[in-house]
Structure 1
Amino acid sequence: MDLASNAHWANTLAVFDLETTGIDVDTCRIVTAHVGVIGMSGEVLERREWLVDPGVEIPTAASLIHGVSTERARLEGQVAAAAVAEIIEALTDAAKRSLPIVAYNAAYDLTVLAREAERYGHASLPGPAPVIDPLVIDKAVDRYRRGKRTLTATAAHYGVALPNAHDAGADAVAAGRVAQAIARAHPELAAIAVAELHARQVDWCREQAESYQAWRRANGEPEFTTSGAWPVR
């Protein structure tokens, strides 16, 4: 089975990624963002990027990951409220064009965007659906594979180049290409309607979170909890 004839949902994909000030979805702020479109062979058809002044100090630990300092964000970055509105608009436009939105660990990026929308009084991204999350799908189809499930590791597993990890554009495009690679490797997924695949990911993410919570509690953290809500927590 070839990608063109079967993975219709993977033929053209919107791709999305954020780099932020931290890991807490309720408090972190957007620093850089990318919304783009890739074609059937993973080629970049459209791209739009943002450098944002988050309005708060960017911790050194975060700057070391994505390369943007507080000073640069203040000097070159767009006002956060305007940038957030534009990111939501770009993703809304992609959804109106019936393009699935790919985001690796989507519950992080889409939750951060939702919190930022609330922070600045914007309407949240409608839905959002359909969303394709290569992290959730990969864990479902290859549950027992050993090793890390970071984007870098997963891209390497599927033979997808990621030369500039933690750049929002590079990560977004790589996530889309990983989704396409998964579709090629698992034709049974390629044949699923995208709305059904979205619904399956809701269940898969909940099950994965429950399994991880049980493992943590069995290994010395009896009070550990985690959310399996997807694609927005």
Structure 2
Amino acid sequence: MWHTGRLAAFDLETTGTDVERDRIVTAAVVGCGGFGSYIPCTWLADPGVEIPAEATAIHKITTEQARTEGEPAADVADQIAEQLAQWLGDGMALVGHNVPFDLTVLDRELRRYDREPLLDRLGERPLHVLDTRVLDTHALPYRRRPSADQGARQLITLAQVYGLGWDAKAAHGCKYDALMSARIAQQIGTLAHMSRRYWPESIRTARRPRFHELRGLSRAELHELQVRLAAEQAEGLQSHFRKNDPTAVVDGSWPIRPWVEDTESKGVPA
């Protein structure tokens, strides 16, 4: 079953939220699941730019620390991609939360330093992704924000919904967030393959759960389903935003945003 095999859990912390311009600060790729060993791989990068105070407030890494302790950004991006290519090539599925952000940032970093993109490294080997944001949005579509400060689809919310708890001190550490995404994916998969009468009450009484639509799929089939689901979810979110902003655009590309060469910068993001 798609949730019981080996997983490569992936997460980045960055200088900001612009996938085309912002840089990697920390990263984790964690091998887990499938009755295999727990193998955490982590990196601290010197992004080559100032880390904004707003980003430091989230992941706690300062510009000074990154410059003093971090590896060159080009080397970090290359090592992350090589580890992912190795494990994905061995048949692992990549798992993360809001995967297009992390995969696109990694892709742009590799291109920025003229290193081989991840998809090129995989060649003919398949990329199978489990995105907990896409899967959760489909399985439990009707959820309000828990509070004004906490979104309905944030990683912390999913951890709470699926009964996994939350360590506020460890959160926004890449290794913790990556592993949490893997545990959430495993919980979603378990519920999908479990009789509804055995679900926890909070899940059983939720409005119109759709876990059954994720049942019995291969990883390849689930990947293709998420391509469609991500596009549909983005379209719905865009329609919602356009009630207040007619120009709002939500990119539904999944699991990575396509690269469009910037002719002014000869294809190298600033």
TM-score interval (norm. to shorter)? over 0.9
- Who is 1:172 aligned against? 178
Give 1:11 deviation, angstroms: 2.7
Amino acid at match of 1:185: L
- Who is 2:265 aligned against? none
Distance of 2:234 and 2:222 partners within structure 1:
18
Contact 1:10 1:179 in 2 (8 A): no
Q: How many residues align?
A: 225
Give 1:161 deviation, angstroms: 3.4
- Who is 2:137 aligned against? 139
Distance of 1:216 and 1:44 partners within structure 2:
43
Distance of 1:116 and 1:204 partners within structure 2:
27
Match of 1:90 among 83, 87, 98: 83
CA 89–175 in structure 1, closer or farther in 2 if over 3 Å, else same: same
- Who is 1:231 aligned against? 255
Deviation sequence 1:33-70 (CA, Å, 0-9, x none):
000111247x8610110000000000000001000000
Match of 1:20 among 7, 14, 21: 14
Q: What's the secondary structure of 2:223's corresponding residue?
A: helix
Deviation sequence 1:98-129 (CA, Å, 0-9, x none):
00000110000000001001101011112671
- Who is 1:150 aligned against? 154
Distance of 2:67 and 2:37 partners within structure 1:
29
Pair 1:184 & 2:190 matched: yes
Q: What's the secondary structure of 2:12's corresponding residue?
A: strand
Distance of 2:118 and 2:105 partners within structure 1:
11
Amino acid at match of 2:99: A
Amino acid at match of 1:137: L
Distance of 1:137 and 1:22 partners within structure 2:
25
Amino acid at match of 2:242: R
Contact 1:162 1:171 in 2 (8 A): no
Higher helix proportion (structure 1 or 2): 1
Q: What's the secondary structure of 1:64's corresponding residue?
A: helix
Give 1:190 deviation, angstroms: 4.5
State the Cα RMSD in Å: 1.5
TM-score normalised according to structure 2 size: 0.80
Q: What's the secondary structure of 2:45's corresponding residue?
A: strand
- Who is 2:268 aligned against? none
Identify unmatched segments of 5+ residues in structure 1: 1-6
Distance of 1:85 and 1:190 partners within structure 2:
36
TM-score normalised according to structure 1 size: 0.93
CA 135–14 in structure 1, closer or farther in 2 if over 3 Å, else same: same
- Who is 2:202 aligned against? none
Bigger-Rg structure (1/2):
2
Give 1:146 deviation, angstroms: 2.0
- Overall identity of the aligned pairs, in %: 41
Pair 1:113 & 2:106 matched: yes
204-213 or 141-150, larger mean C-alpha shift = 141-150
Select the structure with the greater relative contact order (CA < 8 A; seq sep ≥ 6).
1
Distance of 2:61 and 2:37 partners within structure 1:
24
Amino acid at match of 2:251: S
Contact 1:21 1:28 in 2 (8 A): yes
Give 1:131 deviation, angstroms: 0.7
CA 44–168 in structure 1, closer or farther in 2 if over 3 Å, else same: farther
Contact 1:37 1:47 in 2 (8 A): yes
Q: What's the secondary structure of 1:10's corresponding residue?
A: coil
Distance of 1:191 and 1:124 partners within structure 2:
32
Deviation sequence 1:165-212 (CA, Å, 0-9, x none):
100000000000000000011124242100010000000000000001
Distance of 1:159 and 1:48 partners within structure 2:
26
